[in-house]
């Protein structure tokens, strides 16, 4: 029953890359619901990379420029999570910057990150930061490689976390920079 509904919704194509071969259901981890609303139809290439069986192929995931606009929340969540994994790629960060998730969907998308056993990234007050948060700079920062200073009080929206829990990434004056988390305050 679920499989039939998901296949009909997806037009028997992978909801992420559009492939019509080797399709299967993929239950989105940490979903607040079950059934059709938390399941997507995905090809074996997408599923193997989503589950970690194979390393993410950055070129394969360029297909997410279509998936981020899907009307299906589960597809948007999977796209957001994969783009966060690939956030070192400029095109992936640009897609993340274009994406909008309401507060409830942002919580769902971030839920898998809360399951990680990594050390949390904390702001200057010790508040935990999550991908997608907005922070304010608490001091002027000289940005290496460009000719501007990120001024105290500047809002940095839709941050992403790095592998180092002491750093975050975000856009200031249109430039993507790495910021020491201790120099920020969660908005």
Domain match, 10 and 94 both: yes
Q: Is the pLDDT of residue 115 over 50?
A: no
Strands 135-137 and 184-186: antiparallel
pLDDT bucket at 162, cuts 50 / 70 / 90: confident
pLDDT at 53: 85
Q: pLDDT tens digits, residue range 32-87?
A: 888 889 999 999 999 999 988 888 899 999 999 999 999 999 999 999 999 988 88
Domain match, 85 and 138 both: no
Q: Domain range for residue 18? A: 2-113
Domain match, 31 and 104 both: yes
Alpha carbon distance 146, 61 (integer Å) = 30
Domain match, 109 and 144 both: no
pLDDT at 113: 56
This prediction has a pTM of: 0.61
CATH number at residue 181: 2.30.30.40
Averaged pLDDT, 142-164? 88
Could you tell me which residues are beta bridge partners of residue 177? 170
Mean pLDDT (the chain, rounded): 89
- Number of domains comprising the chain: 2
Q: Is the pLDDT of residue 117 over 70?
A: no
Q: pLDDT tens digits, residue range 87-112?
A: 888 999 899 889 988 888 888 888 86
Are residues 75 and 28 in contact, defined by beta-carbon separation less than 8 angstroms?
no
Domain match, 31 and 83 both: yes
Q: Left, alpha or beta for 113 (phi > 0: left; psi -120 to 50: alpha)?
A: alpha
Domain match, 107 and 128 both: no
pLDDT at 32: 85
Q: Residues of 36-51 as b/e, b for ≥16 C-beta within 10 angstroms?
A: bebbbbbbebbbbbbe
Q: Is the pLDDT of residue 143 over 70?
A: yes
Domain match, 128 and 41 both: no
């Amino acid at each position: 029953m679920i499989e039939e509904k998901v296949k009909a919704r997806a037009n028997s194509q992978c909801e992420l890359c559009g492939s019509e071969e080797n399709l299967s259901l993929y239950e989105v981890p940490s979903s607040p619901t079950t059934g059709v609303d938390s399941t997507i139809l995905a090809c074996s290439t997408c599923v193997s990379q989503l589950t970690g069986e194979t390393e993410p192929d950055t070129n394969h995931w360029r297909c997410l420029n279509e998936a981020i606009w899907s009307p299906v929340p589960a597809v948007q969540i999977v796209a957001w999570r994969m783009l966060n994994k690939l956030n070192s790629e400029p095109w992936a960060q640009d897609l993340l910057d274009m994406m909008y998730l309401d507060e409830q969907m942002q919580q769902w998308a971030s839920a898998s990150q809360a399951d990680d056993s990594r050390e949390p990234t904390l702001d200057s007050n010790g508040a935990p930061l999550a991908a997608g948060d907005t922070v304010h700079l608490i001091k002027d920062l000289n940005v290496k490689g460009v000719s501007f200073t990120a001024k105290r009080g500047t809002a940095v929206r839709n941050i992403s976390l790095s592998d180092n829990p002491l750093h975050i990434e975000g856009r200031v004056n249109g430039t993507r920079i790495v910021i020491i988390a201790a120099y920020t305050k969660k908005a």
